[in-house]
Structure 1
Amino acid sequence: MIKIFNIGTLFLATLILYSCSLFSAGHIQPIKEVTTELISTTSNSTVNLDHSQWDKLLKKHVNEEGFVNYAGFKKDVALLDSYLNLLSKNEPNKTWSVQELLAYYINLYNAGTVKLIVENYPIKSIKDISRPWGKNRIAVGDNTISLDTIEHDILRKMNEPRIHFALNCASISCPKLLNEAFTASKINEQLERATKEFINGNKNDISASNPKISSLFDWYKKDFKVNEKTDVIGFINQYSNVKISAEAKISYMKYDWNLNGE
């Protein structure tokens, strides 16, 4: 009886701790789904946040290929901190549009990733850092959340698969870091650009019959849908210059986790 009680108590304590961690990890953040074709606009939100600080840093320290000058970012860490502080002080709420929320959380993820690298620079890979995605490091209002929370518990729940090509994980095989900030006024065009560039770039080797594609399409397979059904080939073919045959056998490319530094 004592053993059963101890196991039950341990399970209950674990459940309580897990629930608390979910709350503190950002599940109180507002989430809105993209329910129709996404249109870039600032007219449907109570807030139009100014991301120009981040835009200037990106234009200064990220080249057209998406390679990042982390040494330069380190010198400008005060400006990076100022931008992250701006985001923290402007915590999203339910009156924000889906466009504003997408821009906010994509920029927060990318700026938070750059800050993480800068804090540990010089470094060979983000995976050399302890729990780079799982540890709560990023302030949003009174909460501290993780990169995983932003990606999996907020952005992936917004029903916009193109976010996978906007988020940069500071690695060679990741979608490139755009050298401009995402904004509600350009969000659809920016997501479209990021998706087309990633699919048609060197992170994939697409052919009609023997396509080798990024492991992102394997890890997040269920997010890539056509007509409400999971269809990785169909999704890629919407953007690819080379169309993959429906009968083609897909293979996935090895992911290069080396730092995407200049």
Structure 2
Amino acid sequence: MISNKIGFAMGVLKNGLVDFLSENRVNPNLITFTGLTINFFAAASLAYGHNWLAGILMIFAGAFDILDGAVARKSGRVSSFGAFFDSVIDRYSDLILYIGLITYYARIGAFGTVILTSVASMGSILVSYTRARAENVIESCKVGFWERPERIVLLIIAALSNRLDRALWILAIFANITVIHRMVYTWIQTTGEYEESTSDRKLLTTFFKIAFKDFKRETWQYDLYCIAVLLVMFGDKLISYIF
């Protein structure tokens, strides 16, 4: 699978960096905070329309976000506070990027896109919130495609290709669909409606299970979903190139 090969290559690089940082006793919380700092400059770049620079900075910030937890585990510094701190900083990192975009679109008078960006940011934050809240009442709620890595990668691709408006439409629609997915999943898990409900409700819950079918990373279904997203982003360029 494409995602499997990419994951393997990234894993080799990641392991080398984790070993280096662990051997030098770098504090994982410092790595987390460094990622936030880089995202601050990425947001400032977005606010002034320097999208390519913002994309590069987001790549570096994402690298720090990947490394912090791995370094904590490798160096034996895993803690409850560290996990909490990482989660809070992730939310700040997400929001600061959207604030940068909102600032840019407000500066150029694109108020419709300001609203679109606000809806996208709302969905992005609620994807994380619904999982955190659901896992207070059920064992796990990792369903849905648009988790944080997918959202950040899409924003990076969009910034580097100067197609942020399309990415915002995708996030505004599908991040919020992921929120609904997690709400429905939690409803089914907590109420047992699927097993005990009437035929009408069984039909409804069956529909949700099919409509919100979840595919794990590094599967062909996941790769197909990624290709579909890229076609939405760049389909017009592909068509013009072919014809």
TM-score normalised over the length of structure 2: 0.28
Instruction: From the two aligned structures, give the one with the greater helix fraction.
Output: 2
Instruction: From the two aligned structures, give the one with the greater strand fraction.
Output: 1
